[in-house]
Chain A
Amino acid sequence: MGRKVIVCVEVLNDHEQYTDLLLLRKQADSVNVKMEVEPKDRKHTEVGKVDFEHNNSDKGYLECRQNLIHRRRYSFNIFVKTFMQLPLFRFDSSGGRHWNPKNEELSLPEKAVKTPHFQKFNKDGISIAYRTEYLEENEEEILNDIQTSLHGYCNECNLETNIGGQLTIIRQINLLDYLPPNDPHSDAKFE
């Protein structure tokens, strides 16, 4: 309850372990992420999960979520629940800009990080959004194709398949690979 947790205590207490979990190689137990419609979800979300092993010890999972109506709206999260409850590392394709108010080294415009962006924790246990050169240069391609985004995400957090390649998203329902722009005003009748 209450406001969003701003400080992640687990990361604050053991930032070294957090950095290890984030950066060291993680191997998924499959080559695919199978997306399925979440049965009890009112927001029409497709969810895919795949387990991974970190450094042959810690176990975690990758969770991909995609909105079926606003298909350019999707996120990736990796969790290692034995270490922390919050996602270790996340990616958001769209949504509001993340506001990094607590980072005192950033100038005002730098505090606002637009989507698509990654989010990780700093040594103070505070969630920081950031964009990489990869996101800057491939923004349009990333928004058009969830698969491209997943590759970028897995490179950033060092996650690969059990045979050392890139994870592939597969789905049950047949949807276009190209994600059209979501024009929020296209299906509403304004007075």
Chain B
Amino acid sequence: MESLKSIYDIVKSDFCNLLDYKLHGNTIEILTGIPTINESMVSVFVSWDGKKYIASDGAWIDDNVYDSEEVLDGDLVNRVSQQYRDYYAIKTVVNGSGSLMYYKTCNDVRMVSAIVHEVGNFIAMYVNISNTKLVEPTDEIIKQKQFQTSINKTLRHTYGRKNVHTNYPIDLTNNKRVKLNAVVNTRTNQSDIINCLMYITGTRNDMFVKDLTKATVTFKVIAQNFLPELKYRRFAIINTSATGYKGDSTNVFLEELREFTDADLILAKNGNLLASLSGVIPYNT
């Protein structure tokens, strides 16, 4: 049986030899042996602040250092990762550069390896779910995602990433809840405004009309049920280069949508907005 034991010795030694470290100021990066499905390996950052030990992802998930593709709907990633966060009791904090950091703390040095182990496994699960392809994306989904991505990028660039929430559910009165493509927080004349944005696109006319009617109903529900103490404005961004956008047959739906928006429809061609966004949605005036 000595030879079987030696197999174990090799495996144990190789597993342990996967561990490595790097120093970054007062924080040590533990290079764990946990691989991800996109050919990366998980690092956990550990420091001591005089009272407790902290183990974090170093904001690598939010900064996308793991180079995730986000092939899944962001909403699904959020739901699954929330379960993992609850399971591992992971806390979050926003660092000085505005990135979200996932972390755990402990007071006893004996528990450090436990929190590193948990944070490390959480990171791997998060990165893996972001890179998991559950269904082959259709042309419709790819085009829709491309449009969403380019508009989201413009919004973040214009208003700062802290003020832009994409794919965001908002709670209304009467226990109602609607999901918006984006919510942009701005300040005008000393008061906070919640700008509600819906995107309209589609490779086929019926998909385009579906987006149009969904936006109309969502905006109608917002008007009827918005929390009275808050101010809102509603905007629709129309992808005029979508193949489903056909003038005449969509006009009746576009007219209806106009009734429920607080500015003229925002037109976008090939992912670029045709008018200056800050002209339509003023920021900090």
> Which residues of A does B touch, CB under 8 Å?
1-4, 6, 40-44, 69-70, 73, 94-101, 107-109, 112, 114, 127, 180-191
10 residue pairs, one from A and one from B, having the closest CB atoms: A187-B96, A183-B25, A184-B58, A97-B41, A96-B40, A109-B17, A188-B95, A108-B14, A185-B47, A181-B25
* A188 engages B93 (CB within 8 Å): yes
- Do A96 and B41 contact each other (CB < 8 Å), given the known contacts A2-B69, A4-B69, A184-B24? yes
Q: Is the CB of B95 within 8 A of A190?
A: no
Alpha-carbon distance A184/B26, docked complex (angstroms): 9
**CB-based contact B39/A187 at 8 Å:** no
Do B91 and A188 touch across chains, with their CB atoms under 8 A apart? Answer: no
Q: How far is the CA of A190 from the CA of B119 in the complex (A)?
A: 15
Residue pair B71, A3 in contact (C-beta under 8 Å): yes
Roughly how many angstroms separate A184 CA and B28 CA in the complex, as a whole number?
A: 10
- Does B168 sit at the interface, judged by CB under 8 A? no
Q: Residues of A contacting B41 with CB < 8 Å?
A: 96-99, 112
B18 within 8 A of A: yes
Contact of A109 among B14, B69, B94 (CB under 8 A): B14
- Which residues of A lie under 8 Å from residue B38 when comparing CB positions? 3-4
In the complex, the answer to whether B26 meets A186 with C-beta atoms within 8 Å is: yes
Select the stretch in B153-161, B218-226, B250-258 that faces chain A: B153-161
> In the bound complex, do residue B56 and residue A185 qualify as a contact, i.e. CB atoms below 8 Å apart?
yes
Closest chain-A Cβ to B26's Cβ sits at a distance in Å of 6
Residues on B with beta carbons closer than 8 Å to the beta carbon of A186: 25-27, 96
Q: B interface, by DSSP: helix, strand, loop or mixed?
A: mixed
Q: Name the residue on B nearest A6 (C-beta).
A: B39
- Distance in Å from the Cβ of A69 to the closest Cβ of chain B? 5
Report B26-54 CB contacts with A as 1/0, cut-off 8 Å. Answer: 11000101011111111101010100101
Q: A42-B153, A96-B42, A188-B93 are in contact. Are A109 and B18 (CB under 8 A)?
A: yes
Asked whether, in the complex, the Cβ of B35 is within 8 Å of the Cβ of A99, the reply is: yes
A contact residues around B23 at 8 Å (CB) = 181
Residues of chain B lying within 8 A (CB to CB) of residue A182: 24-25
A-B contact pairs, 14 of them (CB 8 A): A1-B145, A43-B63, A95-B40, A96-B43, A108-B18, A109-B18, A183-B26, A183-B47, A184-B27, A184-B45, A184-B58, A184-B101, A189-B93, A190-B49
Contact residues in A for B105 (Cβ distance below 8 Å): 190-191
By a beta-carbon cutoff of 8 Å, the part of chain B in contact with chain A is 14-15, 17-18, 20, 22-27, 31, 33, 35-43, 45, 47, 49, 52, 54, 56, 58-60, 63, 65-67, 69, 71, 91, 93-97, 101, 103, 105, 131, 133, 137, 142, 145, 153-154, 156-157, 161
Q: State how many angstroms separate the Cβ of B92 from the closest Cβ of chain A.
A: 10
A42 to chain B, nearest CB (A): 5
Question: Do A4 and B131 touch (CB < 8 A)?
Answer: yes
Q: Is the CB of B156 within 8 A of A127?
A: no
- With A40-B157, A109-B18, A183-B25: A96-B93 Cβ-Cβ less than 8 Å: no
Given contacts A127-B39, A183-B27, 16 further A-B contacts (CB under 8 A): A1-B137, A1-B142, A3-B71, A40-B154, A40-B157, A42-B156, A44-B97, A95-B66, A99-B39, A108-B15, A112-B35, A181-B23, A184-B24, A184-B45, A186-B26, A190-B56
Out of B49, B60, B94, name the residue touching A96 (CB < 8 Å): B60
Given the known A-B contacts A43-B63, A96-B60, A96-B65, are A4 and B94 also in contact in the complex, defined by CB atoms under 8 Å? no
- Bound CA span A96–B18, Å: 13
Residues of B within 8 A of A109 (CB): 14, 17-18
For B133, give its contact among A2, A96, A190 (CB under 8 Å): A2
Whole-angstrom distance between the alpha carbons of A146 and B200 in the complex? 44
Chain B proximity of A184: nearest CB distance (Å): 4
Find chain B residues with CB under 8 A from A44 CB: 97
A185 touches B45 (CB 8 A): yes
Residues in B whose Cβ lies below 8 Å from that of A180: 25
Whether A188 pairs with B133 at a CB distance below 8 angstroms is no
In the complex, the answer to whether B133 meets A185 with C-beta atoms within 8 Å is no
Within the complex, the shortest CB–CB distance from A162 to chain B, in Å, comes to 33
Known: A1-B137, A185-B26, A185-B54. A98 touches B39 (CB 8 A): yes
- A1 cross-chain contacts in B, Cβ below 8 A: 69, 71, 137, 142, 145
Q: How many Å lie between the Cα of A2 and that of B18 in the bound state? A: 28
B18/A112 in contact, CB under 8 A: yes
Residue contact B96 to A183, C-beta cutoff 8 Å: no
